[in-house]
Chains A and B, each alone.
Chain A
């Protein structure tokens, strides 16, 4: 049941990314190009996606998931250094190519070799993050 619901969710996510044009790197980079020919599409995608989620979070205040034990705890309000530094690094990569993790996966079947190279590098980066983080933490604690 959980897998079926996750499959439906993933399918909707993929279809939404496809319909909205967010797997088109030129459109995404166009949104980031405030100083050039700005393309506002991404703002409509983000706004459209937030609407159902606002309702979902309201509903999630009560009870428990259909096929699960509990809803996520309330979010932390702590703005940490990894949050900001990580998001800045992510933004740089996003600006360089125009792909974020969702669309990188969604365009797997038609992104050609550039999409595959990007996805491989992204997965390698994700795989390398826990050891990298341990090294940085140790260095921070040592000095």
Chain B
């Protein structure tokens, strides 16, 4: 796993190219929370484009896994953590109007002040949460 940073860099470049294809191809910003959130709450326009994006996003990892490229997920099996975490991510990203892909990748790459502020806030809050969980509950 000492090579994980190389895989990270290659995967990151692929994610950036995905954002470039969506932006230059359709004029839309590749934000996962905005795309799926717009479908869920009914505010999103251009639904067929969003749906096609989601088919690719869900389908490729499924295909890669089927072809033998397995990746661990290791998500917790504590039900309250999963529900609380999911709700916080869903509500938080919609209030903030973006997540790691929208504010982080697409926002910071055009030097968006809001992108940097959001990224600082969620990484800071995430780091505090991980540290507090381990210190308090040993998780």
- Which residue of A12, A39, A60, A129 contacts B15 across the interface (Cβ within 8 Å)? A12
Q: Is the CB of B129 within 8 A of A42?
A: no
Q: Is the CB of B25 within 8 A of A16?
A: no
* Given A96-B84, A124-B87, also A6-B27 (CB < 8 A): no
Q: Which residues of A105-137 are within 8 A (CB) of B?
A: 105-112, 114-115, 117-130, 132-133
Q: Is the CB of B92 within 8 A of A92?
A: yes
Q: Is the CB of A2 within 8 A of B15?
A: no
- For residue A77, give the distance in angstroms from its CB to the closest CB of chain B: 4
Chain A residues within 8 Å of B24, by CB:
56, 59-60, 65-66
A104 to B109, CA, bound (A): 23
Interface residues of B, CB < 8 Å — how many? 110
- For residue B31, give the distance in angstroms from its CB to the closest CB of chain A: 8
Interface 0/1 of A6-45, CB less than 8 Å to B: 1111111111111111111111010011111001111111
Chain A residues within 8 Å of B8, by CB:
20-22, 41-45, 48
A20 to B61, CA, bound (A): 12
> Please, could you name 23 A-B residue pairs with CB atoms under 8 Å apart, sorted by A?
A10-B55, A11-B59, A15-B60, A18-B65, A18-B69, A19-B11, A21-B4, A44-B8, A45-B12, A46-B104, A48-B12, A49-B19, A50-B105, A65-B24, A90-B99, A106-B61, A109-B58, A111-B75, A114-B77, A118-B75, A124-B86, A126-B41, A129-B91
Partner-A contacts on B (CB < 8 A): 4-30, 32-33, 36-37, 40-41, 43, 46, 48-62, 64-65, 69-77, 79, 81-97, 99-101, 103-110, 112-115, 117-119, 121-131, 133-134
